[in-house]
Amino acid sequence: MSLVVVGSLAYDAVETPHGKVDRMLGGACTYISLSASYFTPVSIVGVVGEDFAAEDVKLLASRNIDLEGMERVPGRTFFWAGVYSSDMNDRTTLRTDLNVFATFEPKLPLSYRERPYLFLGNIQPGLQRSVRAQMNGVKLIGGDTMNYWISDYRQPLLDTIREWDFLLVNDSEARQLSGVSNLKKAAERIMEMGPSTVIVKRGEYGALLFFRDRHGQVRWFTAPGYLLDVVFDPTGAGDCFAGGFMGYLCSRNIDLSDPGADHRELHRAVIYGSVMGSFCCEQFGVDRFRSLTRAEIDARFQEFQDATAF
Amino acid sequence: MSLVVVGSLAYDAVETPHGKVDRMLGGACTYISLSASYFTPVSIVGVVGEDFAAEDVKLLASRNIDLEGMERVPGRTFFWAGVYSSDMNDRTTLRTDLNVFATFEPKLPLSYRERPYLFLGNIQPGLQRSVRAQMNGVKLIGGDTMNYWISDYRQPLLDTIREWDFLLVNDSEARQLSGVSNLKKAAERIMEMGPSTVIVKRGEYGALLFFRDRHGQVRWFTAPGYLLDVVFDPTGAGDCFAGGFMGYLCSRNIDLSDPGADHRELHRAVIYGSVMGSFCCEQFGVDRFRSLTRAEIDARFQEFQDATAF
């Protein structure tokens, strides 16, 4: 089934203990769609400036990503610069130039409006909601957000996620949104806000999934983080997780509102999320996606099986 | 098969966000042996003072723990006081009175010397080694240690763990001992020091297991931390993990030096470790073990299955 992804397209400058890149393709929409493209056809909605390079368009197109919704406007593409701490668990933003992203108003091409799956990357909640309103009969909708929207745009955010099937956040965002420290209770509180499914990303520790089974009981599932020999650059890993998770759900035509759905499929979606996040860290920026194959993805999925089965 | 456990028997004063206890039964040997007693017959080696209460002896005896090696000497039992941070990820030691533990020299009763399984709780490495030397033909030996021995008793520690089949440490200890930050590489470095199996505890995030398969390839397995509704008191959780892990290995008569051993048994041992660590946190000190049943343990083992299978 076909997936629409909305979010930022950007250029990043990144420094990690393994090196430094002054300008490389980035942005949530980029990472999500590249990752999801291994599972399902993807169409993107985003904005770029006149400086967006032909070779970057070519990379996205090489993954069969539908670029009809990628608007090109006068000005420069969103630019972000950051530096990671030595253990790479923290990063400091050095510069954020919103550029053309500052006035981004997502407009869905007509051809996108009947698509069944929608993933809303981290943008202003009101814009996320406006995209939802442009879709007809969407079957499964989810997305992520960030600390700034949770603190300063709380009501618009609540109005937005009320319509979502799932919310993807990291542990500190889950605590901030729910006001609860215990992650299980935090997820239950978030489920009362609308989403029937909550995924909590925990960086190198993997991810937690919360959902209700057919008896209305809250269940949890946990995917480990993959143990990489070297983490080159964690930029985009959370977005690649999102792409793997959502991409797999689309590929299996999953309907989260179906109480009889096989929850093992949801589990597998989370594992594919972890798999894609792990590949992302192996090289700088999106570089790993220049060579990654579906066979490598499935081999790593099997490694997760071996590392968790007992 | 029968297990010998060596380590501290203590009284603890503990404060967590959920309450405060001025004096309660504690010590690594206590937690390890209570936990392991659900899986296998346990004999302990340790020292207590004249103040060690009859009701605490009774609790240990009620779990069929062999107390022949529990020496009672003039003076007071080891006392430790600590307070946990609000998220319980850090704790501050307020007081450590070694008391009779200061001159502890473990002496194995004759009846213990032919036992096949030995777990060495965190005590001075030279003492751990002296216990090993008192055993005849031990089949499987492992234990844990701490930052102080790693920094200030490095050579005696290396001489000690060279004879071990497994080492159980937390993530910061693994990094400190190996000098390597990446946990997979740290574990490989530790495996070169002697132990064929390394278990890295990661607190609320669970544990990692590293071992070599029959082809000499390093393999890893990961157990999640259980998601408790409330963590009352994490004191002893790591020791209960050790007891569940070692207890299960004994109960299945596992020989880690057998290259044909079924590594799924090792996986299950780590899961039982996580199960026992989780129960420990549900009440203050050893209180959970006053009511815990094997049926509850196996039900939680099944919950881990549901939370990790895909």
Tell me whether 0.85 is exceeded by the ipTM. Answer: yes
Partner B contacted by A87 (CB < 8 A): yes
Q: What is the pLDDT of residue A297?
A: 98
pLDDT in tens, A25-42: 999 999 999 999 999 999
Distance CA B35, CA B261 (A): 24
Which 3 state secondary structure label does DSSP give A70?
strand
Best A85, A183, A189, A222 member to test B by mutation, with max B CBs in 10 Å, is A222
* d(C-alpha A179, C-alpha A193), whole Å: 13
Instruction: Identify all chain B residues contacting A220, using CB atoms and an 8 Å cutoff.
Output: 227, 307
pLDDT digits over B134-173, tens only?
Answer: 999 899 999 999 999 999 999 999 999 999 999 999 999 9
DSSP 8-state symbol, A164: -
Which residue in B has a C-alpha nearest to residue A220's C-alpha? B307
Of B227, B308, B310, the CB nearest to A184: B227
| Residues on chain B touching A271 (C-beta within 8 angstroms) | 310
pLDDT tens-place string over residues A150-182: 999 999 999 999 999 999 999 999 999 999 999
Of A229, A268, A309, the CB nearest to B182: A229
Strand partners, A92: A83
Q: Which of A219, A221, A307 lies at the smallest CB-CB distance from B221?
A: A307
pLDDT at B130: 97
How near does any CA of chain A get to the CA of B25, in Å? 28
Residue of chain A minimizing CA distance to B267: A310
Contact B224 A229 (CB under 8 A): no
Name the residue facing A227 among B184, B264, B267 (closest C-beta): B184
The set of residues, in sequence order, having a beta carbon less than 8 Å from that of A297 and lying 6+ positions away, is: A38, A272, A275, A276, A279
Q: What is the pLDDT of residue A257?
A: 86
Distance (Å, rounded) from C-alpha A19 to C-alpha A33? 25
Pick among B202, B222, B271 to test the A interface (most A CBs inside 10 A):
B222
What would the mean pLDDT of A72-101 be, rounded to a whole number? 94
Closest of B167, B175, B154, B141 to residue B250, by C-alpha: B141
Tell me the chain B residues in contact with residue A223 when contact means C-beta distances shorter than 8 Å: 310
Whether the predicted pLDDT of A204 surpasses 80:
yes
Q: Residues of A with CB below 8 A from B229's CB?
A: 182, 184-185
Supply the pLDDT for residue B13.
97
Shortest CA gap A142–chain B (Å)? 21
pLDDT at A47: 98
pLDDT in tens, A122-151: 999 999 999 999 999 899 999 999 999 999
What is d(CA A46, CA A36) in angstroms, rounded to the nearest whole number? 16
Q: Is the pLDDT of residue A260 over 90?
A: no
Query: How far apart, in whole angstroms, are the C-alpha atoms of residue A108 and residue A100?
Result: 17
> Is the Cβ of A271 closer than 8 Å to some Cβ of chain B?
yes
Partners of residue A91 on adjacent β-strands: A84
CB pairs under 8 A between A and B: 74
Q: What residues of chain B score a pLDDT lower than 50?
A: none
Side-chain half-sphere CA neighbours of B208 within 13 A: 25
HEC per residue, A223-263 = ECCCCCCCCCCCCCHHHHHHHHHHHHHHHCCCCCCCCCCCH
Tell me if A181 and B87 make a contact (CB, 8 A cut-off).
yes
Parallel, antiparallel, or unpaired: how do β-strands A140-144 and A197-201 relate? Answer: unpaired
Q: Tell whether B185 is within 8 A of chain A (Cβ).
A: yes
pLDDT at residue number A237: 96
Q: CB distance B221–A310 less than 8 Å?
A: yes
B215 has a chain A CB within 8 A of its CB? no
CB contact under 8 A, B208 and A227: yes
Rounded Cα gap, residues B242 and B274, in angstroms? 9
Residue of chain B minimizing CA distance to A225 = B222
Q: What is the mean pLDDT of residues A180-202?
A: 96
CA angle, A260 as apex, A258 and A262 as ends, to 5°?
Answer: 100
